[in-house]
Amino acid sequence: MDLARSYFNDLSFLDTRHRVKAVRPLRCEDIPAPKSKLPEDFWAGERAATDLEIGCGVGRHPLRYCQNNPRRRLIAVEKSPVRCRSMKVVMEKEGRPSNLLLLHEHASSVLCHLIPESSISRVFILYPNPYPKAKHLNQRWHAHSIMHRILKVLCAEGEVLMRSNIESYMIEAKEYFQDHWNLKVNHLKSFSKEDQKDPWTHFEKKYLDRGQKCFELSVCKPLNWKKP
């Protein structure tokens, strides 16, 4: 089988035969500290709503989001050195908005060591790696132990917004968010190139240009959230 073809063209490729399973707990003590530091007064006093983007690739979404939302600020995290280098080139050309903080780090290090509880208003996870094999279920973000921490740093009524081109991934994520994480589903909707004239990310542009549909899932942490 041509794996690359099935990854991107066959929406039923993801192995989702299992039921929603409990997600193993996370011990932040076991997660390495990041190399990066935040500015000393980053969390001090009254501050703009702070959002987090996990796996921001070469930075197309962070750049536009910060330009379009000058009253918010965004921490964008990417672990790949190659993508971070490309991002640096783009930022040097276009200029980095002052409300954008880019970190070349693993998301788990940032979440565990740099971000206090209940401090993030919105989390973006855009076009995550699908980990299609059933045995890699616990690498998909909604079934990953780091989700315990993501939901801790999220404020009450905060949002997790995911986009993907893989419908089965999004359906499974919706079930996990509802049934395991006790979140409220705002919407799961599809869109095509006609609906999204200016794609948010490089991956989104690639899929829409190929004529594929993409999907957006938005969930929120209710005021009376019960942690699983």
Ligand X SMILES: C[S@@+](CC[C@H](N)C(=O)[O-])C[C@H]1O[C@@H](n2cnc3c(N)ncnc32)[C@H](O)[C@@H]1O
Segment contacting ligand X (CB under 6 A): 39-47, 53-61, 64-72, 147-155? Answer: 53-61
Q: Does the footprint of ligand X cover residue 201 (CB under 6 A)?
A: yes
Q: How far is the CB of 42 from ligand X (least distance, A)?
A: 19
Cβ partners under 8 Å of residue 84, min gap 6: 78, 102, 104
Q: How far is the CB of 181 from ligand X (least distance, A)?
A: 18
Q: Give whichever of 167 and 184 is closer to ligand X, judged by the CB atom.
A: 167
Q: Does the footprint of ligand X cover residue 127 (CB under 6 A)?
A: yes
Q: Give whichever of 30 and 41 is closer to ligand X, judged by the CB atom.
A: 30
Q: Does the footprint of ligand X cover residue 106 (CB under 6 A)?
A: yes
Q: Does the footprint of ligand X cover residue 56 (CB under 6 A)?
A: yes
Q: Give whichever of 44 and 137 is closer to ligand X, judged by the CB atom.
A: 137
Q: How far is the CB of 100 from ligand X (least distance, A)?
A: 15
- Site for ligand X, rule CB under 6 A: 54-57, 77-80, 83, 106-108, 126-129, 201-204
